[in-house]
Structure 1
């Protein structure tokens, strides 16, 4: 762990002893989250869910960018991009542009494997193509994902390790090396039972089926297989998160360190799975500085 990341963890522990923690947010609290409307809605494909919402700060750029990927257990049932308006608006108020990605989920036509991953590729391609038009600085990008979105941003970091035979393989792509996963469920192989029990997802929905050409379905879908990838990853999880408990973050961090990547964990005191994406939550006071730090901004 780097010195700066060690200081972050120490600051968290200090804050947990000095600051009264609000009641943890519930799923209903999360579903009720709202925020400002986006500056623009930009399609990156022809399907209804293939679009991004841009939250552009006031003033002249180029602006640093948060590539924001919502969660929802990979299904349309639990909301997603609309709830992200809450933190997207807060980030735009900080002078940070937000490229908030909608994508095809497992219960939508074309979603799951490989469509959901292809959508990540196309949304990032669109960011690169449109950056100049919106004054976005693609040299300063951090990918921030929540829950299922955490799995997807952790997968994004490993795109350079994809097998050439994978349908998601790209020879040329915009690398994103700064990753913040909020309650992410990234290790599909080792956490398949938890993902089934907490999200009711059959792993085949996220990995596809094995074939002679693709005997290991985790080789191109599991972020934990795509290391080392040169990323710096921060795994942030609520102390009271029952969807993606702190153990998940610690176990993944151990695997990443063993592989040779830079990774740290930050456990939010008194927080649930939903405080992680609410700018009104005390947890946001710990998360926002980490986003700013990943973008090279003053704290």
Structure 2
């Protein structure tokens, strides 16, 4: 066979060395050059805090506690509006704790809103799931009346701010006054909310489990105690879209790349709310994914603060 001259082999070797530099191969999941990656849940747990808050129990379980933060410089005799802040994590303990929403709660306090960032039993905790997770959230919210005896809190101006699964619980909390008496989730004198800010929140449990049956949707099935199709009575009491009208204004804020709460699903909830008689919800798409809304220094986090203040009747920050 014919052999190539040595010079040809040298040229071929140089070409093979240069080729990977001239034709870069980008993985299918890679972001465009210069783009920062989306935040993860673990990133939120490392955000710095101005105020660690006062840890206060609202019940007997080790997970029955919250962190209370008050706005600095509150004038004498004034009472601060309040945000009940509810973290997410697919209703399962391994994904998130109240540290996930601590930075947002801290920033809200710095912007004039007292915050009650609550912990609660998840579906995989003893006593959590149905109905314990719901009754924990209800009990935590009602505990504001007790806190207001010692701290300058305005219990007539309370907004629930929830992220992801916490967004579902925040919306559910707003609809609690209309729950039928005698059901496992009802209570005699629920604290009435001024509004709800759902941050990448789950608005429709059936839609969500149908779309994500093996992911976060598994936590929703655990929350209700089994397949949703076999528990229609529980779904009717627990799914926000089934509790409409809520009777209070709501704002829905989610990242453009948020797969938990995509815009079409939020828009469907808004249409259902209006059809049921609620005021048109604010439906705001912000830059980022699912977790940027909890990071105060992002545009998404700033929007979460703005919407909270708006629903409390405060001027923009």
2:284 to 262, 266, 275: 266
Distance 1:43 1:28, change over 3 A: closer
Using the alignment, how far apart are the partners of 1:37 and 1:285 within structure 2?
A: 18
Count of residues in Structure 1 that have an aligned counterpart in Structure 2: 276
Greater Cα shift, 231-240 or 196-205: 196-205
Instruction: Please state if 1:39 is matched with 2:39.
Output: no
Instruction: Please state if 1:285 is matched with 2:299.
Output: no
2:143 aligns with 126
Using the alignment, how far apart are the partners of 1:196 and 1:55 within structure 2?
A: 37
Instruction: Please state if 1:48 is matched with 2:62.
Output: yes
Deviations 1:63-95 (A, max 9, x none): 111110001111121222112221111111112
**Alpha-carbon deviation of 1:159?**
0.7
1:97 to 105, 108, 114: 114
Q: Which structure: larger Rg?
A: 2
Greater RCO structure (CA 8 Å; 6+ sep): 1
Distance 1:200 1:255, change over 3 A: closer
Q: Counterparts in 2 of 1:184-199, with a 5 A limit?
A: 184-199=201-216
Give RMSD over aligned pairs: 2.1
Distance 1:153 1:202, change over 3 A: closer
Instruction: Please state if 1:218 is matched with 2:235.
Output: yes
TM (norm. structure 1) is 0.85
1:227 aligns with 244
Using the alignment, how far apart are the partners of 1:36 and 1:230 within structure 2?
A: 35
Using the alignment, how far apart are the partners of 1:86 and 1:277 within structure 2?
A: 7
Distance 1:284 1:99, change over 3 A: same
Contact 2:156 2:194 in 1 (8 A): no
**Alpha-carbon deviation of 1:143?**
0.7
Contact 1:67 1:98 in 2 (8 A): yes
5+ long unaligned stretches in structure 2: 1-33
**Alpha-carbon deviation of 1:243?**
2.5
Using the alignment, how far apart are the partners of 1:70 and 1:202 within structure 2?
A: 14
Aligned residue for 2:149, secondary structure, equals helix
TM (norm. structure 2) is 0.81
Contact 1:161 1:227 in 2 (8 A): no
1:117 aligns with 134
**Alpha-carbon deviation of 1:146?**
0.2
Contact 1:114 1:208 in 2 (8 A): no
1:201 to 212, 215, 218: 218
Using the alignment, how far apart are the partners of 2:266 and 2:71 within structure 1?
A: 32
**Alpha-carbon deviation of 1:166?**
1.1
Deviations 1:238-283 (A, max 9, x none): 1011222222211211211111112120011x31101010012122
Distance 1:200 1:224, change over 3 A: closer
2:194 aligns with 177
Contact 1:163 1:219 in 2 (8 A): no
Distance 1:189 1:183, change over 3 A: same
2:268 aligns with 251
